[in-house]
Structure 1
């Protein structure tokens, strides 16, 4: 009897040792991507993230946002399989400030790039620091002129997407991106497309009949406008195809279902009343988030979110604690409950130098109303890339010519260059911001409250108003 028990004990011991050996062996066996089973289990709690960002996109042209001029099939897929944000607001409608806000979680007055092409304060931290500290590899491919100094933006630069936003070609490849996403550990990769940034020389504009295009209501309808719009839409098509190729790459690598895919529209288009303004065609952006198992498909939210909120949300998703001193805050709760609110107000800042003479503008909005404060209304608004009527190729030149004989064209043209001190819009009933209610007595009380809110925000930001729109 003793022998049998000893034999059983020995057999049991051998079994335990064998199991331990098996577990240890397989714990250290790496998959084809070089990640062990234990690391995979750990990484599953920290999902991969790919963010595809457009460049000067009129988000209202996306078919998932109601656009009718083209079907954006691949971008629409993200909307069908994820969450669509209807109120993502850029705090400054130009490339450098928007991207700096995205990466730092700070409003422009605090990150320092409050004028286009002005660098950020060189002691700042960015998403590259915050996620790296949480074990993420943080990469960027494509438009990269906001990633300096490298002390503030220590991204791993991944070749592939075009880096020059004004390039006349847009050649790119995905090989290096495929290598990056196969490497060890969770990653956050920013893919920064240059589409549809001017000069609108890629894509196939012959897909679009200029005469059949539906123009935004605040545009002047001219032949030049329609021809340029067709070229612009060709680059929106190019952008959509890029999103499709990224999704196909993730599918081939077996990573689509363990990767959060985010699409961002940046700010509005380089057409009058879009980029370089605080109208909705400039500030209002798009964001789509696909996160299987967390975000419900075909969901939408009207929660007000700003670009400054994205880095705090990524930190939250990665398991980190809120970074101290940021202007943005995590909207992760909205991902699971789209009916929740996030911000009561969104803010806007515009400084015109170096794109034109000083013309400082500030804005504040809630779910329904927007107040725009043109701080120096006695000046004319001018952008050298958009309102230079000596340039025959610019769309605005054709607007100005028609305005000489057409009353409606004159109203829309004056709307761009002549601004009263205050503009106030009911965005629910006037989404194109064509009816200024600032002098309507019925709105004076709400206007006064919003102006006070705006001034409080400016004070908290140390925003000097006119004093910030100076040469640097």
Structure 2
């Protein structure tokens, strides 16, 4: 009996080992392609009317397009901190621009390397401190987002993905397109007189010139996506690779970046995984950038832990669920990029509540004050121009928008009796989130955010 039992247990162990080996072999490669200051509405499959993005659109046709994907902060450094930690901004510590994450926070390259993945990054870093993010540097894509030459080459990426077929990889391709100074691509292909401007812009000749230059760099971004997918296909890796495209926050043209408005925190997100994601799917499930890393960890065979705020969206990708989050949450802490101007926001996929915690102050983003297009907006003497410029610098305490009826968020419903219950519900959810994050609101956006003044802190979950 003991011999029989031993043989049975041995058989089970062997079967389990074989199953683990098979599972390991099925673990996907992973490629995350991240844009830089790209508005979701300027991607073809999200309704772009001025430009085409055939490679990104092809990715969507072959995979899954998300209509309710959100970042938590509409500036680059905090967005990347959230993406690479799976944690909301206050908890990871890097919640303002030019910030650094807290001591002890585990990041994407650390977590995936532990699971046997090679983890590389091509392109823009903008993550601090660098030693907390031990990505392998993959050459070929511009690292400095202020470069005047945002072109790319593929040799580094091709070498990285081809190096070892027995070892799965995760590669982040972090483009600098279409970040300012908008010196790449060919803006002359756009007829300035025929450009259709978003309604939260002020129509001036300088606006049209700047918008065309920005759209020209989206062409470069689309080419980069096409080249990465082609490299995977030519090496017969596409069937084994999950490819995720993210548009990051919106353009620096006022009304997107540096805000919690829809144009700033709403993101394009597309996932392709041949054989696992049914082609041509669209989902309105609410997801946030913090969900990406837990997803990659789960698919790599790990168990996402409670240190991460995000949750795996693998059930969404594989069609086992059609819902994910009840709310998306956002923040903006302005210092040291300007005077303190803390903003917090929550949305349920349709209605969005924005809480400007210091409405008596003037909003200033120093990086934008000398932009020619903004100067042209201020010089335009129309009611629309006065409204758009006025809402940028001076905001009420609360803003409530129905994004189904008003996607550009130009009609504030806050304080209206018929929307009182919606406003109260979103405000309760927002306050609960802030308490759970240890977010002090006004106290989080102070001169202590200046890197030289900020003491080192260890991560402690509230």
Counterpart of 1:318 (choices 297, 300, 303) is 300
Which 5+ residue runs of structure 1 have no aligned equivalent? 1-37
Q: Paired residue for 1:3?
A: none
1:158 to 132, 138, 145: 138
Please report how far the alpha carbon of residue 413 of structure 1 lies from its aligned counterpart in structure 2 after TM superposition. 1.4
Q: Does 1:395 align with 2:373?
A: yes
Q: How does 1:210-225 map to 2 (within 5 A)?
A: 210-225=192-207
CA–CA distance in structure 1, aligned partners of residues 128 and 59 of structure 2: 27
Q: CA deviation at 1:371?
A: 0.4
In structure 2, runs of 5+ residues without a counterpart are 1-18, 451-462
The answer on whether the counterparts of 1:301 and 1:339 sit within 8 Å (CA) in structure 2 is: no
Q: Report whether the alignment pairs 1:65 with 2:46.
A: yes
> Residue 389 of structure 2 aligns with which residue?
413
Cα contact 1:220–1:399 (8 A) shared by 2: yes
Match of 1:87 among 64, 68, 76: 68
Q: 1:183 aligns with which of 163, 168, 180?
A: 163
1:375 aligns with 2:350: no
SS class of match (1:257): helix
Q: CA deviation at 1:464?
A: 1.0
The Cα shift of 1:217 comes to: 1.1
Shift of 1:224: 0.6
Whether 1:428 aligns to 2:404 is: yes
Which residue number in structure 2 is paired with residue 97 of structure 1?
Answer: 78
**How many residues are treated as equivalent by the alignment?**
428
Mapping 1:27-426, distance limit 5 Å: 44-146=25-127, 148-150=129-131, 152-184=132-164, 185-337=167-319, 340-386=322-368, 388=369, 391=370, 393-402=371-380, 405-426=381-402
State whether residues 101 and 128 of structure 2, in contact with CA within 8 Å, keep that contact through their aligned partners in structure 1: no
Per-residue deviation at 1:418?
1.0
CA distance in 1, matches of 2:294, 2:410: 35
Moved more, 407-416 or 81-90: 407-416
Following superposition, the deviation at residue 280 of structure 1 comes to 0.7
RMSD: 1.6
1:181/1:42 CA distance change after superposition, 3 Å:
farther
Q: Give the secondary structure class of the aligned counterpart of 2:130.
A: coil
Partners of 2:157 and 2:190 in 1: CA distance: 32
Q: Is the 8 A contact 1:97 1:115 kept in 2?
A: yes
Partners of 1:407 and 1:356 in 2: CA distance = 27
d(CA) in 1 for partners of 2:286, 2:313: 10
1:170–1:40 CA distance, 2 compared to 1 (3 A): farther
TM-superposed deviation, 1:349? 0.5
* Matches of 1:446 and 1:86, distance apart in 2: 21
Distance 2:414 2:334 in 1: 23
Structure 1-normalised TM-score? 0.88
Please report how far the alpha carbon of residue 43 of structure 1 lies from its aligned counterpart in structure 2 after TM superposition: 5.1
Tell me how far apart the structure 2 counterparts of residues 77 and 41 of structure 1 sit (CA, whole Å). 31
Residue 19 (structure 1) aligns with: none
Deviation at 1:171, TM superposition (A): 3.5
Q: Which range moved further: 57-66 or 250-259?
A: 250-259
> Is the contact between residue 44 and residue 258 of structure 1 (CA under 8 Å) also seen in structure 2?
no
C-alpha spacing 1:277/1:168, structure 2 compared with 1 (3 Å) = same
Q: For the Cα contact (< 8 Å) 2:108–2:293, is it kept in 1?
A: yes
Rounded to whole Å, the distance in 2 between the matches of 1:437 and 1:39 is: 54
Higher gyration radius (CA): 1
What's the offset of the Cα at 1:148?
2.6
Give distance in 1, aligned partners of 2:190 and 2:146.
22
Q: CA deviation at 1:339?
A: 6.2
C-alpha separation in 1, matches of 2:144 and 2:129: 15
Q: Output the CA distance in 2 between the equivalents of 1:198 and 1:129.
A: 31
SS of 2:436's equivalent in the other structure is: helix
Question: Which residue of structure 1 aligns with residue 5 of structure 2?
Answer: none
Q: CA deviation at 1:39?
A: 12
The whole-number CA distance in structure 2 between the counterparts of 1:325 and 1:94 is: 23
Query: Which secondary structure does the structure 2 equivalent of 1:191 belong to?
Result: strand
* TM-score between the two structures when normalised by the length of structure 2: 0.90
C-alpha distance in 2, partners of 1:144/1:441? 46
* Partners of 1:187 and 1:130 in 2: CA distance: 13
Give, in angstroms, the shift of residue 149 of structure 1. Answer: 3.1
Alignment partners' CA distance in 1, 2:89 and 2:372 = 29
Partner Cα distance (2:35, 2:276) in 1: 25
- Pairwise mapping of residues 421-460 of structure 1 onto structure 2 (< 5 A)? 421-460=397-436
Distance 2:138 2:24 in 1: 21
CA distance in 2, matches of 1:341, 1:40: 31
Is the CA contact (8 Å cut-off) linking 1:161 and 1:193 kept in structure 2? yes
The whole-number CA distance in structure 2 between the counterparts of 1:217 and 1:338 is 38
